[in-house]
A and B are shown apart, each in its own frame.
Chain A
Amino acid sequence: MGEVSFYINDLYTSAPVGTTLLEAVRSMDIEIPTLCHHPDLKSEGQCRLCLVEIGDWPQTRLVNSCTYPVEKGLKVQTHSENVLQARRLVLELLLARAPKAEIIQKLAAEHGISQSRFTSEDPEELCILCGLCVRTCRDIVGVSAIGMINRTPAKMVSTPFKEPSEVCIGCGSCAFVCPTGVITYTEKNGIRSIWGRDFELVACETCGSYIAPRASLEYWAKQTGDPVERYYICRNCR
């Protein structure tokens, strides 16, 4: 695989073919805010926060840096006036979508926005439909228990038929990866409840603290081919 050379904020630099602009920019310690990007997942360009300006002035355009691959001779601006203006607009839209989401409030404040000029459809909404949970469940956990359903404005993340999913293993990865904390679960009396389903938690055979839902341990044992008993002892006691 070859290298390509290009310019970031007028600095000449290079990166391997296939690198995304976001990766290239971040490797230079330049910060671009993102909400739907995760280094272990393929980017889908949902949140639009990572916009950068590419091309020669005045023929420039804004693109998602998380999905745009590096190109020979490309000129990239990460903090131009156009970029900052677009980023503020995106933040205003996100703020209108999920007014209660702390991370968005924080990002907005950092960009000098305290209020959105757009009206909010649901002041309690937290989900920005970034799809990180869906991608994590599909590409990392590997079970695809949840998906995007309906189309906007009714679009949302859901289990099939909005019923407890048969394939969910209760691992909680979706809740962990969610940037706005909209996916929640509870743990009470050795039961974890997530997506409307109850999972029995397994306690460590040695120290007695809860490890994970039985369904998760069984799934991991199946994936790795190890005997499931190996997973009944927590990491600290192994």
Chain B
Amino acid sequence: MDLQRLEGILSRYACQPADLIPVLQDIQDSYNYLPKDELKVVAERLHLPLAQVFSVATFFTMFSLVPKGKHVCKVCVGTTCHLKGGQRLAESLSNRLGVDIGYTTKDMNFTLETVACLGSCAQAPVMMIDDTYYARVTVDKVPKILKKYQ
């Protein structure tokens, strides 16, 4: 376990029970997932039962207990994007990347996910790769976008 890295994250917080979610978010950002040993340390340091930490870690879809890819691609399938072909977009990405929705490519480069709304319905269909938004993504734009990350 990379204790120094974890300490770096924990040092930014007062380590109270209420810090759990932000701490887990930072770990997720830094490690691309929530490693088991790290969660045990977090429980201890935040004075929380491990059962509660595990409960929170498994509740939110932004957290993952297995390593995610280097890039996380979130395709919106909320109502508007759904009508505008979000599902088709997700399937096209799934075919291109050769990975099922919710999974990570073998080379650990991409995790493909669908989400319920990215809050940009006016630009549907929308997808997000890491922190970048892609608006009005038609299936034919997919290869060009993916190229930037390969």
Contacts and interface: CB of A to CB of B under 8 A. Distances in A.
B58 A149 contact: yes
A37 to B, nearest CB: 22
A147 B49 contact: yes
B36 A147 contact: no
Contacts of B39: 160
Interface residues of A, number: 18
Contacts of B123: none
Chain B contact-residue range equals: 10 to 19
Most buried by B among A149, A159, A165, A167: A149
A189 interface: no
A165 B39 CA distance: 14
Task: Decide if the interface of chain B is mainly helix, strand, loop or mixed.
Answer: helix
A160 B51 contact: yes
B34 to A, nearest CB: 11
A167 B49 contact: yes
B49 A144 contact: yes
Given A151-B58, A151-B61, 19 more contacts: A138-B49, A143-B49, A144-B50, A144-B51, A144-B52, A145-B49, A147-B51, A147-B52, A147-B54, A147-B55, A148-B55, A149-B58, A149-B59, A158-B54, A160-B53, A160-B54, A161-B36, A167-B49, A167-B50
Interface of A: 134, 138, 143-151, 158-161, 165-167
13 contacts: A134-B51, A143-B49, A144-B52, A145-B49, A145-B51, A147-B52, A147-B55, A149-B55, A150-B58, A160-B39, A161-B36, A161-B54, A167-B49
